Amino acid sequence: MRNYIYAAMIGLLLFSAACGQKSERGFSVETKDGIEYAHNSKTPLHQDATVVFEEDLSIEPVDEKGNIRIYSPTRFAVDESGNIFICDYRDSSVKVFDSHGQFVRTIGRKGSGPGEFETVGRVYCLPDGKLMMLDLGLRRGSLFSNEGRFISSHKFLRPGYNVFFSTESFYVREETVVEMDKTPKGWKTTLFIKAYDYKGEEIFSYGEFKESQSAFIDEEGRRFTYTRPYDVESVLAGDQKNKWLYHCLSDQYIIEVFDHEGRLFRKIDRPYNRIPVTEQDKKRYLEGFHASSERDVALIEKNTEMPKLKPVCERMLVDDEGRVWVELNEKKEENGQTLTAYDIFDEYGRYLYKIWSEISPGLFRNGRMYSMERDEETGDRILKRYRMIWK
């Protein structure tokens, strides 16, 4: 009997090795057809860990003397030295601040010539120190030196402005294709992720992904599109450290990982029960159309069927240690604050932590977290930097 049990154990070990399996507490990995499957348990490896964000810098639109520095701040980037680049939507330029929050310079101005912008929508710091500016209005990408000197520009065939990561020879961004969808009426949007060189030439494609679709109303003399509630879409994030692309279809807890050549090489999962949609969720959704007329809101409510379950996640982002932060559709009230849940995985796909935070992370750089927040009293958008203290 003892020999039989021993032989069975040896056989099981040999079978696991043949299948490319390995495991540790609450985490296992298997390889099938060249793809690594990272399986996690429902609970994180470090259940008691959390992180505290401690503010150490605030950049407001108006300085202490009352001078306007930024009219309408939107997207931003931070380089390796801690310099901060903020897109100013109204001013059609990029405002530069040093690591202490002191204003340094303005890059670009309103116009369509070299080094000018119609609508500057994105700024991205490249590995060689240059800056990539993406113009939403002109569908154009422009390269600048770190000091703001214009270098070159290239046009986009189709819109799509999120940049996920870059190398010295190419950058990876989204591209959207919009076409009429006759059944039902409205617009159909298809999303692609592609790698482009710095002359605007396509190098390769990661393939087609799912974009959220608009609903269309054509009744009572009104014709308009609107965003559907909790629509299923592709949630994407770029890992600048490893040059990887992360993808999660929002109604499934399966995170796909692509390498810098566009190859899918890993899938990460964990058991998850999706959150039901409540009447309060429906009320908040309709309140989001506060700028619309009562008539239009009534048409939206009449034509919209709320899903029974919320998508798993809202968005993902990757910190400079290669950890993946998954923002879940989970919220709770604590001490008068609304907290949002985040699952955090390491670069091997292990489910490390689940934290709750009032602050929505926007970007990680050099051990700091940056977030664009709105002042409740003034309505101003303020860029804040936080120290991350793990406990």
pLDDT on residue 184: 52
Distances (CA, A) of 379 to 60, 61, 373, 375: 11, 11, 9, 5
- Whether residue 275 is contained in a domain is answered as no
- Whether residue 110 is contained in a domain is answered as yes
pLDDT on residue 218: 87
- Whether residue 13 is contained in a domain is answered as no
CA atoms of 195 and 66, how far apart (whole Å) = 43
- Whether residue 64 is contained in a domain is answered as yes
CATH assignment of the domain containing 97:
2.120.10.30
CA atoms of 8 and 44, how far apart (whole Å) = 32
Q: What is the mean pLDDT of each run of 10 residues along the chain (391 residues)?
A: 42 42 79 97 94 95 86 94 95 95 94 93 93 93 95 90 93 86 64 95 95 85 88 96 97 97 97 95 92 92 93 95 97 92 98 96 96 89 96 87
Structural contact between residues 150 and 115, judged by C-beta atoms closer than 8 angstroms: yes
- Whether residue 179 is contained in a domain is answered as no
Total domain count, the chain = 1
pTM: 0.90
- Whether residue 44 is contained in a domain is answered as no
CA atoms of 364 and 77, how far apart (whole Å) = 10
pLDDT on residue 331: 93
In residues, how long is the chain?
Answer: 391
With a CB cutoff of 8 Å and minimum separation 6, the contacts of 176 are 158, 159, 160, 189, 190, 191, 192, 211
Residue that is written with structure tokens 């530069």 in the block: 96
Question: DSSP labels for 177-245?
Answer: EEEE--SSSSEEEEEEEEEE-TTS-EEEEEEEEEPP-EEEEEETTEEEEEEPTT---EEEEEETTTTEE
- Whether residue 71 is contained in a domain is answered as yes
pLDDT on residue 16: 43
Greatest alpha-carbon span in the chain: 86
| Domain that residue 103 falls in | 60-155
Three-state DSSP class for residue 15: helix
Alpha carbon 54 to its chain centroid, in Å, reads: 22
Structural contact between residues 214 and 225, judged by C-beta atoms closer than 8 angstroms: yes
Tokens of 358: 């009032």
- Whether residue 121 is contained in a domain is answered as yes
